[in-house]
Structure 1
């Protein structure tokens, strides 16, 4: 009899353990956690986990706790596909988030469509992901190359610069940055001149030949989508070689990058989705919560990319709550057209292309910062979301009219 009771208890507790494990909402976070871009992956994970902890502390979503499953993409599409498939099939991942590499988003498209997994991303920017390459399971919770190009072009209309040199990493995102900026300039600033254009391998160590060409071109602005170590090396070597042109980038708001660039970044400019210098009520509260937890860390204040990732999860959670279901079709329907008060203003998930629309923030790098002991972004100029948004009919998405 005693043996029967023991076996029965084992079965009950074993089953209850399985049920408990199934109660979590598992989100796979797939970004680089090794190699030269590890820092970016780690920062994204900090922002995601901060949002998850906040949601879980308030009771979770639909009565369930969220769990992040962390996997290293190595910035390799084949590795990402393998690890995503494993997480979906073996670890019960119900959602996927990755923020680094358009090529990985494209590679994951067949996987998430086959398994009906919602995939969201704040920082894979190539416009075609929500345009001609759209599929219904992908949501972009950040801007894209067309949107930030339009924002920069709107700003440059108010400035005296008219000579631009474009330099980017030689992969799909770099080419999208170049093409979309040229299109935006042609439309908004027809008297602007592209005085040069180059594409370089990722993790380039010597930018000397490129910088020599930029100096010879007499460019006033260097427009680049370079990120991580490439942006750091490009800008530091440019200043060492005497280049005076202003750099304009959507990547010049990441603290680890700006710390390494140092004084070489002063005077250049960034377009951002999130900055700690934005003084909304929501951002002040987020800023203080972050600082209370991380004041003694290397990132005592939130910035790119943690702000992007935090807002991304919070917006996703709102869609799940509205759907009152974890069914992907219900969440898709709920998220389409949803508005949300994010840290830096109200955002909208456009229904036709799953592209988030938001205010953007253009700032110059200043020598002294109230937040960090190195040159950082100052008070921004706000670009309203209506100014930066690409009209639906121009997205290349057949669902948008």
Structure 2
């Protein structure tokens, strides 16, 4: 089967048409209506910019594999941002072209696609990846090539910590932010004996390390298992968890892996013997499990129901018009990433990466892009976006079919992140 090619939005004069060139093999068939909606956009539409070479943004995400659903969520948000930006005149008066590549949840593929976008397709910016290990590897390429890079959905601490780079900024939280926001709640509500179900790669290791640091400081104990990505049968790991007898099962699995593990957690009756919770239980995953598995205390990094917060309802309505369902944090990640690039380039009137990176250090998102309390900014010390962490409880639908999470404690980003100097980030700027 031929490889997936990039999806391009091509502008001709003042009109835009969507030309998709995705040879699709059986692995790339999208399996949910939300995922299908992710690649459908109305066109053509009028843009104000015309007659100039497009500004190209490359998006690399795992459109196939266990993280496909959340990656498709980012694609939806990125496309919505591209449409809005072009309706307002584009970047520097030029139309924006979004090129989308599938990293296939593979580091080598992610690096290859990133190099292709920069060297062959001449993109000015890179966004991605959901997979933290791929995001780190992509950042090595973008740093080498001096291309501004927004990590939309890879959470592992080193991205804005020990491995930070002058050209890399992150929209989603660090794992430290998520762990700090919820650890005390889990200990106070359920106890200090935990068992970790952790994906065996950069993100999982980072989350578990953050949690263990806080748990040990509070006098707690833990055990756990490192689980390969794509595991289908969790029985051996859940038997080990039951034998340990924890008060809380910390489920760090993501995407399809989290869906499978939580289904089996409930099928085995472990929800009657221990609490469950952790950092991310994303709306895409909550939708994919039965009511019985919609349980536990978790963090959300953005939530669609924020009464009184400006522009949230409008954004949610725009996403719902596209997908038929409420907006997710992943929709916002993709949206905020692309909007950030347009905002800073139009403000500085340049595409020069070092100049834009300096300007982004300390840059505050406007309310129509922030879509949350306060005015989150990209912290100068580590380039991490100081966004709110929404701590709360998952539950079966209440009223609205997507009302499956109740925010109990919004934690300001600065409080969750801790000092920038503690991250290990030492940014070296190019000469």
Measured against the shorter chain, the TM-score band is 0.7 to 0.9
Q: Does 1:203 align with 2:230?
A: yes
- 3-state DSSP of counterpart to 2:240: helix
Contact 1:52 1:313 survives alignment (8 Å)? yes
Separation (CA, whole Å) in 2 of partners of 1:386 and 1:34: 34
Contact 1:177 1:224 survives alignment (8 Å)? no
Normalised by the length of structure 2, the TM-score is 0.81
Alignment partner, residue 67 of structure 2: 37
Shift of 1:93: 0.9
- 3-state DSSP of counterpart to 2:164: coil
1:294-340 deviations in whole A, cap 9, x for unaligned? 3xx4x421013112221222233222233221111111111001111
From the superposition, tell whether residues 371 and 60 of structure 1 become closer, same or farther in structure 2 (CA, over 3 Å): farther
Separation (CA, whole Å) in 2 of partners of 1:66 and 1:248: 40
Separation (CA, whole Å) in 1 of partners of 2:292 and 2:52: 50
Alignment partner, residue 132 of structure 1: 162
Q: Which has the larger radius of gyration?
A: 1
Alignment partner, residue 391 of structure 2: 362
Unaligned stretches of 5+ in structure 2? 1-11, 13-48
Normalised by the length of structure 1, the TM-score is 0.87
Separation (CA, whole Å) in 2 of partners of 1:365 and 1:216: 26
Alignment partner, residue 7 of structure 2: none
Separation (CA, whole Å) in 2 of partners of 1:110 and 1:379: 36
Match of 2:353 among 317, 320, 328: 328
Separation (CA, whole Å) in 2 of partners of 1:263 and 1:183: 32
Q: Does 1:56 align with 2:86?
A: yes
From the superposition, tell whether residues 384 and 113 of structure 1 become closer, same or farther in structure 2 (CA, over 3 Å): closer
Separation (CA, whole Å) in 2 of partners of 1:23 and 1:80: 26
Alignment partner, residue 397 of structure 1: 425
Separation (CA, whole Å) in 2 of partners of 1:317 and 1:246: 43
Q: Does 1:372 align with 2:401?
A: yes
Structure 1 stretches of 4+ moved >4 Å: 19-22
Q: Does 1:184 align with 2:211?
A: no
Q: Does 1:251 align with 2:280?
A: yes
1:45-102 deviations in whole A, cap 9, x for unaligned? 0011111111111222221222110111111121122222122122111111113112
Alignment partner, residue 23 of structure 2: none
Q: How many residues align?
A: 374
Separation (CA, whole Å) in 2 of partners of 1:287 and 1:61: 24
Alignment partner, residue 276 of structure 1: 304
Shift of 1:170: 0.9
Q: Which moved more, 1:227-236 or 1:265-274?
A: 265-274
Separation (CA, whole Å) in 1 of partners of 2:306 and 2:275: 23
Q: Which moved more, 1:31-40 or 1:68-77?
A: 31-40
- 3-state DSSP of counterpart to 2:172: coil
Shift of 1:186: 3.2
Separation (CA, whole Å) in 1 of partners of 2:82 and 2:424: 34
From the superposition, tell whether residues 59 and 370 of structure 1 become closer, same or farther in structure 2 (CA, over 3 Å): farther
1:164-179 correspondence runs (5 A): 164-179=194-209
Match of 1:219 among 235, 246, 260: 246
- 3-state DSSP of counterpart to 2:195: strand
Contact 2:393 2:406 survives alignment (8 Å)? yes
Unaligned stretches of 5+ in structure 1? 1-12, 14-18
Shift of 1:361: 0.2
Alignment partner, residue 180 of structure 2: 150
Alignment partner, residue 10 of structure 1: none
Shift of 1:192: 2.6
Separation (CA, whole Å) in 1 of partners of 2:187 and 2:266: 26
Shift of 1:172: 1.6
RMSD (CA atoms)? 2.2
Q: Does 1:70 align with 2:100?
A: yes
Separation (CA, whole Å) in 2 of partners of 1:36 and 1:69: 22
Shift of 1:21: 8.0
Separation (CA, whole Å) in 2 of partners of 1:21 and 1:211: 60
